[in-house]
Amino acid sequence: MYRNDLTDKKWQERYDRDIWHLLVKLNNFGRNIPDNAQSILDSIQKKHESLVLKEGVRDEFTHWSESHIGHDLDITVDELFDLAIPELANKLLEDNREFQEGRLDAFRAGVKNHSEIVLQVLHYSNDNNIIAYKVWHAALVGLADLGRTFWSEVSSLLAGMGDGIYSEEPWAVAWWMRKAAKDIEPFSKDEAYFWLIANKLIDNATIEKLDDDSDIINVAINRPVGIITEAVIERFTQCKLEADQGIPEPEYLSMVTRIMTEDKGVCLLGRVILSSRLQYFYAIDREWTISYLLPKFNFANNAEAKYIWQGYLWAPRITADWARELRDYMLMIYQISTKAICISCLFSFVLSTLIYILLVHSEKQ
pLDDT category at 281 given cuts 50, 70, 90 is very high
Mean pLDDT for the stretch of residues 280-292: 94
pLDDT category at 355 given cuts 50, 70, 90 is low
Q: Per-residue pLDDT for 221 more than 80?
A: yes
Q: What is the mean pLDDT of the chain?
A: 83
Mean pLDDT for the stretch of residues 40-59: 73
Cα–Cα distance measured from residue 130 to residue 152, given in angstroms and rounded to the nearest whole number:
21
Is cis: bond before 186, omega within 30 of 0? Answer: no
- Of 84, 124, 79, the C-alpha closest to 102 is 79
Lowest mean pLDDT among 39-53, 67-81, 83-97: 67-81
Count the neighbouring beta carbons within 10 Å of the beta carbon of residue 233: 17
Lowest mean pLDDT among 147-156, 231-240, 245-254, 336-345: 336-345
Q: Is 105 left (phi over 0), alpha (psi -120 to 50) or beta?
A: alpha
Cα–Cα distance measured from residue 330 to residue 205, given in angstroms and rounded to the nearest whole number:
32
Q: Per-residue pLDDT for 240 more than 60?
A: yes
- Report pLDDT for 122: 94
Mean pLDDT for the stretch of residues 277-289: 93
Mean pLDDT for the stretch of residues 290-297: 92
User: Which span out of 6-15, 318-327, 343-352 was modeled with the highest average pLDDT?
Assistant: 6-15
- Report pLDDT for 65: 47
What is the C-alpha R_g of the chain? Answer: 29
Q: Per-residue pLDDT for 1 more than 60?
A: no
Task: Identify whether the C-beta of residue 310 lies closer than 8 Å to the C-beta of residue 279.
Answer: no
SS3 308: helix
Q: Of all helices (H) and strands (E), which one includes residue 193?
A: helix 189-203
Distances (CA, A) of 227 to 56, 171, 337: 46, 8, 30
Cα–Cα distance measured from residue 138 to residue 67, given in angstroms and rounded to the nearest whole number:
23
Q: Per-residue pLDDT for 139 more than 90?
A: yes
- Report pLDDT for 309: 85
User: 308 or 336: which carries more pLDDT confidence?
Assistant: 308
For 37, list phi and psi in degrees, rounded to 5.
-70, -40
Q: Per-residue pLDDT for 192 more than 70?
A: yes
Cα–Cα distance measured from residue 110 to residue 289, given in angstroms and rounded to the nearest whole number:
45
Cα–Cα distance measured from residue 170 to residue 168, given in angstroms and rounded to the nearest whole number:
6
The full set of domain ranges for the chain reads: 3-60, 205-365
- Report pLDDT for 26: 80
- Report pLDDT for 66: 44
pLDDT category at 163 given cuts 50, 70, 90 is very high
- Report pLDDT for 316: 75
Q: Rounded to the nearest 5 degrees, what angle is found at the Cα of 66, between the Cα atoms of 63 and 71? A: 105
Task: Identify whether the C-beta of residue 293 lies closer than 8 Å to the C-beta of residue 281.
Answer: yes
CA torsion sign, 90 to 96 to 98 to 100?
positive
